[in-house]
Amino acid sequence: MNDTPAPAPLMVVRNLSKTYHVGHGRHLVAVDGISLSVMPGEMLGLVGESGCGKSTLGRCMLRLTDISSGQVVFEGRDITTLPERRLRPLRPRMQMVFQDSSACLNPRRRIGDLLAEPLRVHRGPDGRRRSAVDIERRVRDLMDLVGLPAAALARYPHEFSGGQRQRINIARALALSPRLVVADEPVSALDVSVQAQIVNLFADLQARLGLTYVFVAHDLAVVRQVSTRVAVMYLGAIVEIGATDDVLHRSAHPYTAALTAAVPRHVVGATPPPPLGGDIPSPVNRPAGCRFHTRCPYVQDRCRAEAPALHSIRPGHEAACHFPLAPHRDGSVDA
C-alpha cells in the first residue's frame, strides 16, 4: 500500500458551504466549509443527527442544489459552477439513491418506463442512441440485478412495498453504470428487517460492480455494515473522519463517542460516557468556539473560545477536538 502511488480521488470537496436565507437577514448554514475526498472503490459513510447537513452535503456533491461557496471536483473536473447542460453528460457517472422511495418515482409512470428513462436520454457506450431492444434488455438485466421479477415492469410505483421500491430506485441509479453513488439515507424509511436486505444489496452491488459509495445515514449499525470510512457530521461540519473501525471503536471526538454509546451493545463492564443532554443547536445561531461545546460533557474554557480544526489522531484518522479522547483497550473511552 505504501509503495503504490495513491490513486486519484473520484470526488474532492473543498471548503464546501451551503447557506439558506431564512428571512429577516438571517442565514441557515446547512453545510459549513466541509472538505473531503472520496477515493475510487471506497464506501464513505456520512453520519450525524438529523439536521446536521449530511443530506445537503450529498446533494451538493451531485449538484442537485446550488453550492454557496467552495468547490466540488469530480473525476478531476471542477463541477461547482458547471451549467446543467454541461453537467448532463457527467450525470451518468454520478448517481443518487434517495431516501423517500415513493416520492422519487413519478406515480403516473410504470416501472419499466421509469427504468428506461435514463437509457433513453443518454447515449450508449458506443456513442449512439440505444435501441428499444437494447433498452428492454438492459431494463430486464437491472431488475434481475436488484432481485425483482420482470413482470413488475408493467406495474406502478404504489403497487410495491418500500423495500421493493428502494430496489427499483437502486436499479434506476445503476442503469447508467455510475462510478459514484450517493445514497441519501436509503434505508432509514424502511422496516428494520427490510433495511438489512437493502443494505446487503448495496454491499453486494459494490462488490460486483466496483462502485464507490457515499452512504448517508444516521444509523451507526447500517454505516458499520457498508462503510470502509466514516465521516461524523455535527452542525454542518465534519467533527471526525477515519476508517470505520477507528472512528466507531476508537472514537476521538466526544460527539462520536456519545453516538456510539447510544447504540445498544452487549459489552459488560464498559462504562459508556454520559448521554448527551440538550438538543442540537439551531444552524441559524451556531455557538461560538467549538460547535459541540454546548453539549460536550468534557467542555473546557478553550472550547468556548476557539474553534478546533480537524487534526490527525493517527494515520487516516482526524478529529476536530482540542482534547481528543484516549481510547482504553476494552473499547471504553475517557477524557
> Can residue 160 be called a binding residue for other proteins (CB under 8 A)?
yes
Q: Is 194 exposed, middle or buried (0-12, 13-18, 19+ CB in 10 A)?
A: middle
The residue (of 68 and 197) whose beta carbon lies closer to other proteins is: 197
The C-alpha cell at 207 is: 462488490
The residue (of 193 and 285) whose beta carbon lies closer to other proteins is: 193
d(CA 27, CA 21): 5
* Smallest distance, other proteins to C-beta of residue 299, A: 34
d(CA 183, CA 306): 34
> Can residue 104 be called a binding residue for other proteins (CB under 8 A)?
yes
* Smallest distance, other proteins to C-beta of residue 279, A: 27
13, 72 contact by CB (below 8 A): yes
**What mask of x and - would describe binding to other proteins in positions 236 to 265, judged by CB under 8 A?**
-------xx---------------------
The residue (of 223 and 321) whose beta carbon lies closer to other proteins is: 223
Helix then strand then coil, in percent of the chain rounded to 5, is 30, 20, 45
How is residue 150 annotated by DSSP?
G
> Can residue 161 be called a binding residue for other proteins (CB under 8 A)?
yes
Which segment (68-76, 81-89, 297-305, 324-332) binds other proteins by CB under 8 A? 81-89
> Can residue 49 be called a binding residue for other proteins (CB under 8 A)?
no
Other beta carbons less than 10 A from residue 161's beta carbon: 12
* Smallest distance, other proteins to C-beta of residue 255, A: 23
d(CA 33, CA 15): 4
Q: Which of 100, 134, 136, 219 binds other proteins (CB under 8 A)?
A: 100
> Can residue 317 be called a binding residue for other proteins (CB under 8 A)?
no
> Can residue 155 be called a binding residue for other proteins (CB under 8 A)?
yes
> Can residue 3 be called a binding residue for other proteins (CB under 8 A)?
no
Which segment (44-52, 168-176, 234-242, 317-325) binds other proteins by CB under 8 A? 168-176
Query: Which residue matches cell numbers 446550488?
Result: 66
**What mask of x and - would describe binding to other proteins in positions 11 to 40, judged by CB under 8 A?**
------------------------------
d(CA 335, CA 254): 8
Show the DSSP H helices in the chain as ranges: 54-61, 84-87, 111-121, 132-145, 162-174, 192-209, 220-226, 244-249, 254-261, 301-305
The phi, psi pair for 153, rounded to 5°, reads: -65, -30
Sign of the C-alpha dihedral computed for residues 194, 199, 203 and 209 taken in this order: positive
What is the footprint of other proteins within residues 114-133 (CB under 8 A)? 117-118, 121-122
Pairing of the two strands 94-97 and 11-21: unpaired
Q: Interior CA angle at 96 toward 105 and 229, to 5°?
A: 145
> Can residue 234 be called a binding residue for other proteins (CB under 8 A)?
no
Q: Which of 8, 22, 154, 284 binds other proteins (CB under 8 A)?
A: 154
> Can residue 212 be called a binding residue for other proteins (CB under 8 A)?
no
Q: Which residues bind other proteins (CB under 8 A)?
A: 41-43, 62, 64, 84, 87-89, 91-92, 95-96, 98, 100, 103-110, 117-118, 121-122, 148-149, 151-152, 154-156, 158-161, 163-164, 169, 172, 175-176, 191-194, 196-197, 199-201, 203-204, 206-207, 221, 225, 227-228, 243-244
